[in-house]
Every structure is written in structure tokens, then in C-alpha cells.
Amino acid sequence: MALNYIDWIIIAVYFGFSLVIGLLSTKQSGKSSSEFFLSGRSMPWWLLGISMVATTFSADTPNLVTDMVRQNGVAGNWAWWAFLLTGMLTVFVYAKLWRRSGVLTDVEFYELRYSGKMAAFLRGFRALYLGVFFNVIIMATVSMALIKIGAVMFGFSAVKTLLIAAVVTVIYSAMGGLRSVLITDFFQFILAMAGAIGAAIIILNMPEIGGLEKLVSHPNVSGKLDLIPSFSNTDILIAVFILPIAVQWWSVWYPGAEPGGGGYIAQRMLSAKTEKGALKATLLFNITHYALRPWPWILVALASLVVFPDLASLQQAFPGIDQQIIRHDLAYPAMMKMLPNGFIGIVVASLLAAYMSTIATHLNWGSSYVVNDFYKRFVKPEAEDKELVMVGRISTVVLMILASIVALLLSNALQGFQIMLQIGAGTGLIFILRWFWWRVNAISELTAMVVSFMVAIYFQLIHPSTSLPELSYALQLIIGVGITTIAWMLSAYFTKPTSEAQLRKFYQLIKPGGPGWKRVIDDAARENIVLESKRNEGWDMPTAILCMVLGCVLVYSALFATGSLIYGKNLMGVVLAVIMIVAAYGLSRGWRKLKLQ
């Protein structure tokens, strides 16, 4: 199949539209670093929520879902569905705290929460570790997916594919800052969803598939439909369900699902007008991300099992593609290639939109760390806003170049996903507790990052070269979480705590509440310093946790009600829909009891 002129016109119009938005936003975004990285903290909650969704709708996401479904069935998606728990925890506990902090980036938080040279070092180290190293890996994973799309649909080389898409993305990201990213994200999300849903409908009605009923009854598919892994397969049950639900969601740092919020999710919350706006934006993101988007990708993944039942069939269909990148995740762009001319242009544009929305956010987010938390903080504190914006634009270009280079070294989406989870294993709990336990300090955070990284290096590079027994991914993750958690806990207890003055300053600004701050509050009271006024008495954490649970019930019920109806299990679908409505009602009642400033 070759794209015709209508397809190319659609793609060209999309590229042009993105560039125009970037150029129109240039003047406003260039006024200050706050405008460039936070859009002046004046963005409406619905735009921020859609932007979060668009960012997590990257070019590698349908490839990743396809990889999971083909190998472990629909239930394999629990590897990321479990992150809804930390997402809802962010909504009802941490969104208001982030907005209340008033920082420009979540890395700046370190010198708000901790004291001394170690806090400053941690801020600078984290800025480069996350903003450059980790961020480049994330963007490389996304770019690697685009390489496969370009190879299958255009026959483009990896360099040619990256050169075309990356140049346009860098231009509007560097010129328009976060404002252009947010605006383009809105339209990119609509385009991406239209492409994903439309593609699923067309593919289901292809002669090879024969409709939804025939798909779910096909022998290649019928064994892949379980929403929860079979208890008869212990290895898969532990790896894709028990481990994510019991350990992974709270213990692992992963972009877009950081325990306690962080990264570009924190950037969006910090850009909101109010605490309520930050909360509403994050709730919209979690509902849309987990309940609305998965099924179009899942249906295409299941259909791919009919057309390309194994890797050999993919290799036979695409003999001209480098065999190193032919993995199960290639099946998604392979199915897109079967779409008719006219619509294929929309699908290609939607995949480009998914890629560009994610890359643009990561470029702006990573650049904010480089500028605010490294350059301005340590290199040139006296730098004026125009200079900071210029450094931001330069770092945007450099980050894109680095990500493109690393992308050429990866082979599949699941590989990148697991590497990132392993690197962040064990750090999640500290991001949850640092708001509510005074004893967490800068050294314990640094310990968590260094130890988790060293454990990941061992499992990825050293252990495979030894004669020791091979360890499953699940066991590696549990070991990593255990070692890292013990290490940072010990460092928190046996190193010097944050200064009393800094702890009091943090508490007065954030008002986190809870028993973890009792010692600080009592010590201040003995000096006649009031940290907790009567107006703030009464901890709303129990209400927040209840809202978190109800939010999870709402989203999972919606997700599985949709799946049940797709499978033809109408009674189960109706029951789950009723549960969803009840959870939504309870959530609306609990929302009103939350303490928002």
C-alpha cells in the first residue's frame, strides 16, 4: 500500500498547523521563564487534563499495548493499569499540595523541603538525572516506536523518520514553550483518538477479521481475552497482576504515574489557576487515560493475532525491515498498513500527533530542569528571563538530538518500559512519604536514586554475564524495591535530619497535616510558634483515601464494563456500569469534604 496525495495533504496540513501554533505562541512564551515553562500559572483545568492525556498517548503506547496483549493477553495490561492507584492518590492527596508549593518545577521542591548543601546538590543532580538522562531514555523509547511506524508504513530509514518528525516538534516546542505544547496537545489528542477509534472500527470489519463476534471467538484470540490472568498460570499471574497491584504502583517511579505526583504531571498541576483546578485536571487525566483509551488499541492488538499470529509471519510480511526491530510491538503499525487510502492519512497524522505531543512535553519538561534547576541555580543565578528562555530553547534541541541517538539502540517498546521500571524500583515510597514524614531527608532521597540505579545496572548488564541462575523480571523488581527501600530507610534514620527551621517553613506553607509531623508541631508549640491553626485542624486524609478508592472503582468499572460489552457479556457489563454510577455518586459527595485552599 502506498499513500496517495490526499493522505500526504492531511499529513502536511497537520505539520503546518502545529508549526503555526508554535509561532503564534512565541511572543507570549518568550516573556519569562515562568511563561515558557508554566504558561503563567493561568491555564484552565480541562486543557491541562487533556494535555496530560495527550502526553501519555505516545507513539509507543499502542505498540506497547499490542506487545503486552500478544504475549500475555488483555490481562497483560495490568502492568500499566495498576498505576491507576497512584494516579488517584495523586488526584486526591498530592495535587493540592503541589499547587500550594508554588515551585516552578518539582525538582525545585528539594530546596523547599530540605536544607543545606545536600538539598542543593540533590536538586542539581536530580535535574540532570531526570531532565537529561532519564528523559532521554523516555523520548528514545517513544522515538523507537516511530521508527517502526516509519519503516512499516513508508519504508523510511530510522534516520529519515526521526529527522522529519523531530524537526517539526523541536521547532514548535522551542519557540512556543508550554503554551504551544498545551494548545497543540488538545488538537493532537482529538486527532489521535479519532485515528485510534476509526482504525479499530475499520480493522474489525476487514474480511480477514469478520467483525467483533468472529474476532473474540477466533482460536488465536479466545485464549487472550481474560481481564484478569488465569490462576492456573502462576508466573503470568504474579508478573502482570499480583506484582503491579501489590508492589509496583507505590514503589516504582514511572513518568506519568509517579507516586506522589511529579514530572510533567506536576508541571501541569503547577500551571493550574487554583488547587481545585489542579485536582480536576488530574482527575480528568486519570479517567480518560485508563477508562477511555485502551480498548481501540486492545482490539487492534487482538486482530493482529489473526493476521500475524507470530513473529515469523511478521518477518515474512516485512522482509525489508531490520530483523532486530521485528518484535510483537511491530504488529500495531503492521495492522495500520492495511487501512484504506484516505483514512490512512488520518491514522498516520494521529500517530504523528501521539508522538509529537509526548516528545514536546518531555522536551519542555526536561528543559525546565536544565534551565531552572541547573543553569539558573548553579551556573548563572543572575541570568535574566530572556537568557533563560534562550537556554531553554537550546537545551530543547540538544535533548532531541540525544534521544534520537539512543532510539537507534533500542529494539522494542516493552524493553524500554521494563528498563525504566527497574531504574525507578524502590524510589516510589519515598516520594509518597516525604510530604507526611519529617524524618525523610535529602540524603535518603539521594540514596534511593543511587541504589535503585545500581541495582538496575546489575540486573541489566552484570547478572546476565554471570553463571548465576536467571531471574525473572518480577523477582528482579521485588529485589530492587526491597534493597532500595531498606537503603533509604536506614539513611533517613542514621543521617542528620532537615533543619528545624526548614521543616517549620515547609509545614507552614504546605499544611500537609498528619501524625508524621507531630514532633515538629509540638517542638514549635513549646517555643510559642503556631504551625497548625484551629482552622486547619482535622486531617482530611481519610476522606482523600476514600475518594481515591472510589475513583479507582469508578475507572476500573468503566474499563471492564466496556470490555464485557465488547465480549458480548451484557449482564456483566450492566452490573459494572451500575457500580460505576454508584462510585461516581460517592465520589461527588466525598469531593466536597476535601480541604482545598
Cα angle: 390, vertex 395, 401; to 5 degrees: 135
Question: Which distant-in-sequence residues (6+ apart) come within 8 Å of 183 by Cβ?
Answer: 21, 25, 47, 176
**405 half-sphere exposure, CB direction, 13 A CA radius:** 8
Q: What is the pLDDT of residue 543?
A: 92
Do both 263 and 399 map to the same domain? yes
Closest to 109 measured CA to CA, from 268, 285, 267: 267
What single DSSP character describes residue 496? P
What one-character DSSP code corresponds to residue 436? T
Can you give the C-alpha Rg of the chain in angstroms? 24
| Rounded Cα–Cα distance for residues 180 and 43 (Å) | 12
> Longest C-alpha distance within the chain, in Å?
79
- Domain end point (choices 413, 441, 462): 413
Who's near 171: CB < 8 A, 6+ residues apart? 19, 22
Which of the 8 DSSP states describes residue 531?
A: S
| Structure-block grid coordinates of residue 57 | 498517548
CA dist., res. 501 & res. 516, Å (int): 17
pLDDT on residue 421: 62
449 in a domain, yes or no?
no
φ, ψ dihedrals at 19, nearest 5°: -65, -40
Domain that includes residue 309, residue range: 5-413
Q: 255: burial class by Cβ within 10 Å (0-12, 13-18, 19+)?
A: buried
The DSSP code for 470 is P
Domain end position, chosen among 353, 386, 413: 413
Would you call 33 helix, strand, or coil by DSSP?
Answer: helix
Map residue 425 onto helix, strand or coil: strand
Residue where a domain stops, chosen among 374, 389, 413? 413
**E strand map for 120-195:** none
CA distances (Å), 60 to each of 63, 66, 331, in order? 5, 10, 12
**Would residue 424 count as lying in a domain?**
no
Residue 524 has a CB neighbour count (10 Å cut-off) of 19
Q: What is the pTM of this model?
A: 0.86
CB atoms within 10 A of CB 536: 13
Write the burial class of residue 92 (CB in 10 Å: 0-12 exposed, 13-18 middle, 19+ buried): buried
Q: Is 26 exposed, middle or buried (0-12, 13-18, 19+ CB in 10 A)?
A: middle
CATH number for the domain harbouring residue 136:
1.20.1730.10
What is d(CA 272, CA 275) in angstroms, rounded to the nearest whole number? Answer: 7
Q: How far is CA 162 from CA 110, 317, 338, 434, 564, in A?
A: 35, 23, 23, 39, 39
Which DSSP symbol is given to 495? S
Helices 45-56 & 343-368 angle (0-180, nearest 10): 110
3-state secondary structure 571-591: HHHHHHHHHHHHHHHHHHHHH
- Closest by CA to 108, choosing from 123, 96, 98, 118, is 123
Q: Which of 11, 379, 71, 415 is nearest to 235 (CA)?
A: 71
Are residues 277 and 131 part of one domain? yes
Distance CA 113, CA 438 (A): 9
521 within some domain = no
Q: Is residue 515 part of a domain?
A: no
pLDDT 10s digit of each residue in the chain, 597 long? Answer: 566 777 778 778 877 877 787 777 666 666 667 777 777 777 899 999 998 888 887 767 888 899 999 998 999 999 889 999 999 999 999 999 999 998 888 899 999 999 989 999 999 988 998 888 888 888 888 887 788 777 777 777 778 888 887 887 888 777 777 777 888 888 888 888 888 899 999 999 999 899 999 999 999 999 999 998 888 878 778 878 888 898 888 887 776 778 888 888 888 898 888 999 999 999 999 999 999 889 999 999 999 999 999 988 888 888 877 677 788 888 888 888 888 877 777 877 877 777 888 888 888 889 999 999 999 999 999 988 889 888 988 998 899 988 888 887 765 555 555 566 667 677 889 999 999 999 999 999 999 988 988 888 888 778 888 888 888 877 888 888 899 999 999 999 999 999 999 999 999 999 898 899 999 999 998 988 888 765 455 678 899 999 999 999 999 999 999 999 999 999 999 999 999 999 999 999 988 888 776
The alpha carbon torsion through 412, 413, 415, 420 (nearest 10 deg) reads 150
Is the residue at 222 inside a domain?
yes
CA distance 261 to 415: 24
Q: What is the pLDDT of residue 86?
A: 93
Tell me whether residue 461 is exposed, middle or buried, using C-beta atoms within 10 angstroms of its C-beta: 0 to 12, 13 to 18, 19 or more: exposed
d(CA 329, CA 179) in angstroms, rounded, equals 33
* Beta-bridge partners for 43: 272
Per the structure block, which three cell numbers stand in for 543? 476522606
What does the pLDDT read at residue 188? Answer: 81
Looking at the domain assignment, is residue 184 inside a domain? yes
Contact 3, 344 (CB under 8 A): yes
The verdict on residue 338 lying in a domain is yes
Backbone angles phi, psi at 252, to 5 degrees: -110, 135
What nine digits make up the cell of 21?
Answer: 501554533
For the chain, what is the domain count? 2
Enumerate residues 6+ apart whose C-beta is below 8 A from 27.
Answer: none
3-state SS track over 258-287? CCCCCHHHHHHHHCECCHHHHHHHHHHHHH
Give the pLDDT score at 261: 87
437 within some domain: no
